[in-house]
Every structure is written in structure tokens, then in C-alpha cells.
Amino acid sequence: MKGLLNIVNKLKPTFSKGGKFGWLHSTFDAFETFLFVPSTVTTKGAHVRDCVDLKRVMSVVVLALMPALAFGIWNVGEQHSIAFGLDMTFWQKVWFGFLKVLPLIIVSYVVGLGIEFASAQIRGHEVNEGFLVSGMIIPLIMPVDVPLWILALAVAFAVIIGKEIFGGTGMNIWNPALLARAFVFFAYPSKISGDTIWIEGLSAANQSQLADGFSGATPLAQLANGAQELVTTTGDHLSFMQMFIGNIPGAIGETSTIAILIGAVILIWTGVASWKIMISCVAGAVAVGLLINGIAAPGTYADYPVWQHLVMGGFAFGAVFMATDPVTSAQTERGKWIYGFLIGAMTIVIRVFNPGYPEGMMLAILLMNTFAPLIDYFVINSNIKKRAKRIAA
């Protein structure tokens, strides 16, 4: 590592301002600070001083995403094997899934970081680190069969419209990864909704190629279509535990609640994400879900047990990795409870009362991203008024 540092230090003057390749200063700085903690320090004022900068925080989030990514890679192979009646071994499923997921990750990072680097070079600023996380999340919330060119367009939209137009990382209003998914949903709805897009090869397959009685419908899609009982892709009863484990059709990284919870433990243990938002998301969903369950007619979508919603679709993934985005979420402590509660509540409301779009987590988070500053405003004003009353007393 010391040898690599010496090489970087020798190259640094060439890429510094005034050097032969000074115009590439932002790019060189991005690679240098990614490999090594910056040596710059604050010189005045009260600041927290430690070695954990934004790149290190982003790296922790990427690490927390690894369980969901690993399970998703295996599940891509698993669902393909079931759909086409193949007798694939565990490692064959993993390799198959790896070859299908890797191009999505490569396209996401190449397009996103390419725009980030170009923007930094044009402005003469440092390269923003936020896309280290967004670049991994975007493929995980997409169907495995999404065309690469559509994914590239979605990433470009998320980075340019969602981040750069506001000034880059830390200035954006909405979660960039969710903007990418929203772009695909509204611009190319057939590529992110339906029963054939969640399993690799299913959209282009003939019925004769599929296993007997196979269906690629996700649990949420089944509920939206009025199913009285959830079933697996082969027609068997779908249990809560199967949905919790995640060997069901769905977005690559969203199906396994247990893998997502492992990531949640990492984020909470390292202090990177707010446990208050995660808990309040669940509380909001349960509170509104129980209320709806209590007044719903038997056998309807609204009557479906709320705890099942917690392990279906993108609820768990959204609550852990996207609702907790420190840039677009509420900043005050009380605001985090309100913000998370409203996300959970809105998710259930959208799912139950808008069956045309059974997945409500994306819209709920984007909506509350918009109102997060307002929530903080009222919380802060409330605190100011309470302090003023105490002083006056």
C-alpha cells in the first residue's frame, strides 16, 4: 500500500493545477481520495475530526447492499431454472445470475460515473461520491430483463435531472435511484410492470418452452389482480416464510427481506443510516394497514394481512436503503419519526387504493422526499416556540 501511495504522490504534481494534465485534476483527485483518506484538515472552528469521510460512508452502504445483491444473483438463476424446468445446480444458478446482473451494474456505473466525472471536470469541482451507492442501488431495483439502453437512459436522467441540475451530491431533493426507477416506469411502463419481466428470458419465451403451469406474477401483482390466495410461480401455496426468504419473482435486490435485514444491521451498527426512519416506516405501514384491515370487506385486497405487505415488493429495501438517504430524508430527530411513519402509511394506502400500481414504496418515498424540508421546518419552529414559552415563563 505504501508503494501505491508513493506512485500517487509522484503523479500528483502532473495532475495538479498548473501541471501538464492539470485539466484532469478533478478526475485524479477522485481516484486518490477513493484509495486514500485525504490529508486535508479543518483549521478553525469546531469540527468533528476522524478518518471516515463521505467516500468511506458510501463504501459502508455498498457493503450493506452485498447480501441483497448476492441473494439476487442466485435468485435470478433460481427463477430462470424454475420457469424453464431446468435442473441447475446451486453454482450454475449463481453463475447464470452473475452473468445477467453484472452488465446492469457495469452500465449503471459507467453511465453514472461518466456523467459525474464530466460534470466535475467542466465545473472544476471535486467528483461527488454519492453515485457509489446510487450506482449499485439502481440495478437492484430493476427487473433483470430491463434493456441495457433503457437502464442507461434512466441512469442519465437520475444523475443529470436528479442531482447535477441541483448542484450535485448533497443538494438533490429526490433520491436518484428512485428517480431512475420512476423514469422507467413512466417512460417505458411495459419494461417494469407485468408478469413476464421479472424472470430472465420469460418475456421472449414461447409458452411451450416454459414449465407446466408456470406464472411469473409477483405476490403484489397477484393481489392487485384479485387473487384470493397467493401462489408460487408453479401454483403452490406461497407462505410468509418464502416471501421473507425471497425466492420469488421481483426486482433483483428487493425480494429477500432477510438479506435486506442483514444490510440494515450493518447500517445501524456503523451509524450510517437512521434506525428511527426504518422503525417508523414499519410502524406507519402497520398502523394504517391494521386500520384498513379492520374496515375492509373479507376476501378483498384491503383485507390482506398488513404484516404480509412488509415482506412483499420493495417495502423492506425501500425502508432500509432509500428512505434513510441522509440527503433527501428529514434531518431533525422528531422529523425522522414523522417522515418514516408517513412513508409506511402512504405505501399501504397506494397499494390498497391504487391496484393499477401495486408497488407503493417508490411513490411514497419520492412524495415524502418532497415534503421532508417542510417537516423539518415545522419541527424546528415547534421547538423554537417551546423554548420561547419556557423563557417567558
The string of pLDDT tens digits covering residues 223-261 is 877 777 788 877 788 888 999 999 988 899 999 999 999
For the whole model, what pTM was predicted? 0.83
**pLDDT attached to residue 208:** 57
Phi, psi of 248, rounded to the nearest 5 degrees = -140, 165
Other beta carbons within 10 Å of 353: 11
* Backbone torsions φ then ψ of 44, nearest 5 degrees: -150, 160
Question: What is the distance between the alpha carbons of residues 115 and 117, in angstroms, rounded to a whole number?
Answer: 6
Q: Which range, 198-207, 241-250, 339-348, is most confident?
A: 339-348
Q: What is the domain count for the chain?
A: 2
Residue 165 pLDDT > 60 = yes
In the predicted model, what is the mean pLDDT of the chain? 82
Question: Which cell is 241 given?
Answer: 416464510
Dihedral sign of CA atoms 162, 168, 172, 176 in order: positive
Q: Is residue 75 a part of any domain in this protein? A: no
Q: How far is CA 377 from CA 322, 331, 333, 336, in A?
A: 22, 10, 12, 12
pLDDT attached to residue 392: 77
The pLDDT, as a whole number, for residue 47 is 46
Q: Which residue has the cell 456503523?
A: 270
Flag whether 247 is in a domain: yes
Residue 354 scores a pLDDT above 70: yes
Average pLDDT over residues 306-310: 88
pLDDT of residue 12: 58
* DSSP percent split of the chain into helix, strand, coil, nearest 5: 65, 0, 35
Q: Is residue 61 part of a domain?
A: no
Q: How confident is the model at residue 348 (pLDDT cuts 50, 70, 90)?
A: very high
Residue 310 lies in a domain: yes
Q: What is the model's pLDDT at position 148?
A: 94
Q: Which residue has the higher pLDDT, 322 or 9?
A: 322
What is the C-alpha separation between 181 and 267, in angstroms, rounded?
A: 23
Identity of the highest mean pLDDT range in 37-51, 190-204, 330-344? 330-344
Residue 25 confidence (pLDDT) above 60: no
pLDDT at 301 over 60: yes
Specify the pLDDT at position 45.
47
Query: What confidence score (pLDDT) does residue 65 get?
Result: 95
Which three cell numbers, joined as nine digits, stand for 102?
453484472
Residue type, 6: N
Instruction: Determine, yes or no, domain membership for 193.
Output: no
Residue 145, Cβ neighbours under 10 Å: how many? 18
Mean pLDDT calculated for residue range 93-107: 96
pLDDT of 244: 93
Question: Which residues span the domain enclosing 31?
Answer: 1-38
Measured at the alpha carbon of residue 284, what is the angle toward residues 293 and 297, in degrees to the nearest 5?
10
Best mean pLDDT range from 39-43, 96-100, 269-273, 301-305: 96-100
pLDDT, residue 62, reads: 92
Least confident interval from 5-9, 74-78, 340-344: 5-9
Contact (Cβ atoms closer than 8 angstroms) between residue 165 and residue 65: no
- Residue 258 maps to a domain: yes
Pick the residue with more confidence: 68 or 215?
68
Q: Does 105 map to a domain?
A: no
